[in-house]
Chain A
Amino acid sequence: MPNPSRDLSPDLAPPPTSTDGRLLLLFEGDNVLVARMRIRAGETILVEGIDATLAADLPLGHKLARRAIAAGEKIVKYGAPIGTATEAIAIGTPVHVHNVRSDYTPTYHLMDAEKPEART
């Protein structure tokens, strides 16, 4: 019987050549990729064979869409649902609190505008 926990351990093998090596696919069924280092705004990156240009920095550990995701669709990471898209998300664009909601409790976060200075 497969061990459910072992299956959760992320697969850190190099991504397929159709995707930028700075992006990490944790689980084959995932519809998001994770940045393994900060990728700068304006850079064009390859996502599943499609060129995408980042409008803002994608920091280490943040996610972007591996394919087009429809409003209401589940976001899948580690092979498990981690929330629901609140709007359509284009391939190669960031997936975060602005376009995803929890299926359990709302996420508390501080708005960027409330910070004294924008982080670099």
Chain B
Amino acid sequence: MSMAIATGTTTAVPQGLQLTETMRGWLRSDGRKGIRNTVVVAYLVECAHHVAREIAIPFREHDVHVIGFPGCYPNPYAETMMERLCTHPNVGAVLLISLGCESFNKYALEKKVRDSGRPVKTIVIQATGGTRKSMAEGRAFVAEQRALLDEAPTVPMQPSELIIGTVCGGSDGTSGISGNPAAGRAFDQFVEEGAACIFEETGELIGCEHIMAARAVTPELGEILEASVAKAARYYATLGYGSFAAGNAEGGLTTIEEKSMGAYAKSGASPISGLIKPGDVPPHGGLYLLDVVPDGEVRFGFPNINDNAEIAELIACGSHAVLFVTGRGSVVGSAISPVVKICANPETFRRMEDDMDVDAGRIIEGRASLDEVGREIHDLVVDLARGKRTKSEELAHQEFVLGYKSFEPIGPACLPV
């Protein structure tokens, strides 16, 4: 390990990096390819979070990301999420950090990761002898894996092998006019090329359910899509709040229906091939709705407590990258997969350009068309597999949130083709 890495003073990818000629990826044993080769340090209860973070800090700008689950009580959804994230194609090696007495099934997770062909190690803090010893052991493992992954060969990759998610956050009255429809245009292009694209937040599709259902590849799937939005409407009605923050209103959005119409535009115009739930990986190319609202009676609180919980779910479904449309100006990135920030509002872009990858507000000011910005988003995602980094990656953003939920598995009618 070089001194530069040890002190965290350098970024993994130097300024002025030459992009590779074509897309390249790291081939995994399940046939999927990653556009990043990240070491994940995963805490299995909040009590192990500090140790995990301390292990990762020297490597924070060198593709070592912290994820984890804070709860001490078991939850099948969270265990599935952690398994899918630790075996995500963008992940090359995994370090699990357990306090020792939590309920999380660390043995099952370690086995799943090992069976995927990835190097994995579990440190149990109580058995290792506390914070200091666990940190030292953890940093040694990470340094060793980082050095190996940096030498790992890549293989050619095609756009059809990509899975791309989309989310909007910090939305305002511009989101539905510029950023979201431009992201939709990029989705259309990717679906045409054979990629899988995932849109989500059924709580932000309230009011759009009928027009959305008309795009389903089968009538049965259309009914399922409508039912997922009805479930979201019930869930949020019970909680007393819509998926709507105070800043949305300040930015000119008046109702959840208005926000929904804007958010829906992210899905583009392709037929909808299926409905998936967190952790389900799309079986082939096409457009998918991710149902993020838990099944059954309302428990555990809000479906997703913030944007990063949604991003984590999109990534658990295999997303190599996430398109994040913002109007008010979100700065977040994510662990594991790059987040492309598309700024819908031209005033926000001028104020926060350092955090934004795409200036979609040009559409509102008449300086670019939806198609032009859509192509720009598409090409930027392709470039992420040629060595390009997003603004949030360069700024070492790696937010991550995972909470409690419960889901029933999807039925066959959810994936009709």
Contact = CB atoms under 8 A, between A and B. Distances in A.
B184 A82 contact: no
B242 A107 contact: yes
B173 A82 contact: no
Interface residues of B, number: 48
A34 B249 contact: no
Given A105-B241, A110-B246, A61 B174 contact: yes
Interface in A62-103: 62-63, 75, 77-78, 80-83, 95-97, 100-103
- Determine the main DSSP class of B at the interface with A: loop
B246 to A, nearest CB: 4
A61 B250 CA distance: 10
B173 A8 contact: no
Nearest to B214: A4
Contacts, number: 145
A12 B363 contact: yes
Contact of B254 (A5, A80, A107): A107
A106 B258 CA distance: 12
A106 B214 CA distance: 27
A109 B256 contact: no
B245 interface: yes
Interface string B239-274: 011101110011110111110011011011100000
- Determine the main DSSP class of A at the interface with B: loop
B252 A62 contact: yes
Interface string A3-31: 11110111010000000000010100000
Interface residues of A, number: 41
Contact of B250 (A8, A38, A109): A109
A75 B184 contact: no
B377 interface: no
8 contacts: A60-B345, A61-B174, A61-B252, A61-B345, A62-B173, A63-B254, A82-B261, A102-B254
Interface of B: 172-174, 176-177, 181, 184, 206-208, 211, 214-215, 233, 236-237, 240-242, 244-246, 249-252, 254-258, 261-262, 264-265, 267-269, 327, 345-347, 363-366, 369-370
